Amino acid sequence: MATVLIVDDSRTSRKILGDVLRNMGLEVVGEAVNGEEGFLKYKELKPDLVTMDITMPVMSGLESLLLIKHENANAKVIMITAAGQKENLMQAVKAGAEEFLTKPLEEAEVRRVVTEVLAK
Ligand SMILES: [Mg+2]
């Protein structure tokens, strides 16, 4: 069973993602509410996949992505973004993000992207 770490400062987004991922048969091994906590939990839990919100307090998803990729260049990270954050998306691509999901999150799209990334 593949393991997933959810990093998002929005409780609602964590709940939506967690429900979809668990319904897919994945194991949500941890949740974090900012980029710093996300990085620390990544190192501790070594999940197969990370979902990473971009806009968060303390440390952004982009900074956290860079730290995770520095720790493990093969880490699989899906960035979660609000609409209209094109600049952030381009930076995340350069930093090695696998894929993107846009809020509001739709179950079918989450399933499609997560399945695709885990199959790589
Ligand atoms: Mg956020």
Condensed to tens digits (0 to 9), the pLDDT of residues 21-36 reads 999 999 999 999 999 9
Query: Is the pLDDT confidence value at 4 over 90?
Result: yes
Domain of residue 48: give its range. Answer: 3-119
- Condensed to tens digits (0 to 9), the pLDDT of residues 64-103 reads 999 999 999 999 999 998 877 778 888 888 899 999 999 9
H/E run at residue 5: strand 3-7
Residue 9 Cα to ligand 1 midpoint, Å, equals 5
Residue 53 Cα to ligand 1 midpoint, Å, equals 6
Kindly state the average pLDDT of the residues 28-52: 98
Which residues on neighbouring strands pair with residue 103, listed in sequence order? Answer: 82
Kindly state the average pLDDT of the residues 6-30: 97
What is the domain-level CATH number for residue 38? 3.40.50.2300
pTM of the model: 0.95
Residue 115 Cα to ligand 1 midpoint, Å, equals 23
Question: What is the C-alpha separation between 41 and 100, in angstroms, rounded?
Answer: 21
Count of structural domains, the chain: 1
